[in-house]
């Protein structure tokens, strides 16, 4: 057996059908989407087709989709763009378990005169919705809450959160990078104002993503210019966008596969729970079907990761962006979780097989024992 890849929350394998769809746009169809000739029109048509595919995945309108370079850019555009467009409101509300891209952008807001309220979570990683409502003030310009946590997979109940935020008169941004392709999202029925996604998390190419901006909302561009209807300058990444569109179509079709993914994840978790001194973070609440973040008493996560790696099993100690750091994950810190330094994230995809999970469950107890000495 080759590598067993259980790090799909860090990134996914680009689907072969996505690669195939992208290839002609690197070679014979190389026109600039802004050019007035035939090759340009061909590229512009491909970009608009991709916009329709992404909009269909989200239940949005094509004109509400702004293409970009991925999750980090979408978060920066949403947060900075909203506060720049409405300088009268100087208060931002977010949670203690957001991705580092959002934490960094919050710091940028703070440095630029925005007051930031960070909401705590409980031991299961849940928000207190009454606390959220109470935190929203008349000068709150934006509330930003992730759809699903990248480390624990904990899902925030957007159907309950969005109406509460709207009732208090604030805008809502959702970082949906980990949710897209794993759980259904329907912006036609969910009153969210801004939402960002990233293609490489659902079998699309790296460095491509989108920001949904609800029709009529004023948001300053990060890169002013004429492309993307004045919302993001630079020559369109046509192959990347074609890949994103194809990945969006496949993701919608594969949502039903998530039941099988969850069954494999649950099989893995049953095996982990039978190891003495092992727990599953966030298991007391709703989670993504593919994610298992396990804590083991008396070991360093990094040591267990290396042992799994020696067996060809690819996992993570938390977010890829934090890999190599010795500090425990801020997400587990916020949850006051036990065994924070001894935690390993397994993240599956529709490509994960039963045989692979069986190999992992077979070797894991022994590797945990070895990592504990
Ligand atoms: N938000 C979440 C929840 C993520 O998991 C990630 C990537 O790990 C990002 C944002 C950043 O996305 P990108 O890698 O496309 O910049």
Task: Return the domain boundaries, the chain.
Answer: 4-12+256-372, 16-254
Mean pLDDT of successive 10-residue stretches along the chain, which has 373 residues: 94 98 98 98 98 98 98 98 97 98 98 98 98 98 98 98 98 98 98 98 98 98 96 98 99 97 98 98 98 98 97 87 69 97 98 98 98 92
Is the C-beta atom of 71 inside 6 A of ligand 1?
A: yes
What beta strand segments (E) does 132-266 contain? 140-144, 171-175, 194-198, 209-213
The secondary element (H helix, E strand) that includes residue 42 is: helix 38-58
* Rounded Cα gap, residues 349 and 307, in angstroms: 22
* Partners of 195 in beta bridges: 174, 212
pLDDT tens digits, residue range 40-83?
A: 999 999 999 999 999 999 999 999 999 999 999 999 999 999 99
Decide if domain 4-12+256-372 falls under CATH 3.90.1150.10.
yes
User: Which ligand 1 atom minimizes the distance to the CA of 199?
Assistant: 15
Residue nearest to atom 9 of ligand 1 (CA): 71
Coil/strand/helix, residue 92 = strand
Is the C-beta atom of 98 inside 6 A of ligand 1?
A: no
pLDDT tens digits, residue range 103-150?
A: 999 999 999 999 999 999 999 999 999 999 999 999 999 999 999 999
* Rounded Cα gap, residues 373 and 366, in angstroms: 11
In angstroms, what is the span from residue 72 Cα to ligand 1's centroid? Answer: 6
CATH number assigned to the domain covering 16-254: 3.40.640.10
User: Cβ distance 171 to 139 under 8 Å?
Assistant: no
292 carries an active-site annotation: no
User: Cβ distance 204 to 243 under 8 Å?
Assistant: yes
Residue nearest to atom 5 of ligand 1 (CA): 150
């Amino acid at each position: 057996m080759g590598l067993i890849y259980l790090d799909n929350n860090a990134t996914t394998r680009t689907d072969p059908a996505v690669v195939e769809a992208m290839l002609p746009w690197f070679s014979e169809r190389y026109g600039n989407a802004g050019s007035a000739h035939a090759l340009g029109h061909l590229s512009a048509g491909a970009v608009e087709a991709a916009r329709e595919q992404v909009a269909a995945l989200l239940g949005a309108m094509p004109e509400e989709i702004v293409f970009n370079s991925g999750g980090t850019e979408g978060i920066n555009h949403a947060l900075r763009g909203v506060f720049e467009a409405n300088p009268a409101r100087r208060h931002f509300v977010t949670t203690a378990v957001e991705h580092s891209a959002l934490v960094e952008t919050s710091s940028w807001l703070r440095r630029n005169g925005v007051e930031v309220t960070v909401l705590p979570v409980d031991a299961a990683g849940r928000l207190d919705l009454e606390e959220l409502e109470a935190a929203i003030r008349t000068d709150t310009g934006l509330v930003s809450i992730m759809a699903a946590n990248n480390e624990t997979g904990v899902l925030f109940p957007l159907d309950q959160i969005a109406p509460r935020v709207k009732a208090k008169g604030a805008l809502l941004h959702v970082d949906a990078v980990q949710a897209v392709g794993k759980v259904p999202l329907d912006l036609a029925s969910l009153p969210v104002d801004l939402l960002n996604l990233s293609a490489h998390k659902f079998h699309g190419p790296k460095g491509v993503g989108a920001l949904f901006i609800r029709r009529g909302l004023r948001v300053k561009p990060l890169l002013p210019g004429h492309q993307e209807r004045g919302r993001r300058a630079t020559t369109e990444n046509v192959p990347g966008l074609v890949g994103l569109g194809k990945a969006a179509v496949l993701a919608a079709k594969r949502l039903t596969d998530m039941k099988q993914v969850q069954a494999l994840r649950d099989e893995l978790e049953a095996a982990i729970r039978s190891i003495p001194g092992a727990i599953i973070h966030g298991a007391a609440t709703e989670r993504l079907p593919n994610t298992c973040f396990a804590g083991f008493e008396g070991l360093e996560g990094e040591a267990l990761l290396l042992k799994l790696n020696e067996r060809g099993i690819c996992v993570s100690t938390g977010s890829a962006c934090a890999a190599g750091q010795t500090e425990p994950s801020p997400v587990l810190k916020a949850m006051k979780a036990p065994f924070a330094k001894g935690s390993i994230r397994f993240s599956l995809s529709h490509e994960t097989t039963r045989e692979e999970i069986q190999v992992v469950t077979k070797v894991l107890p022994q590797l945990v024992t070895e990592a504990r000495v």
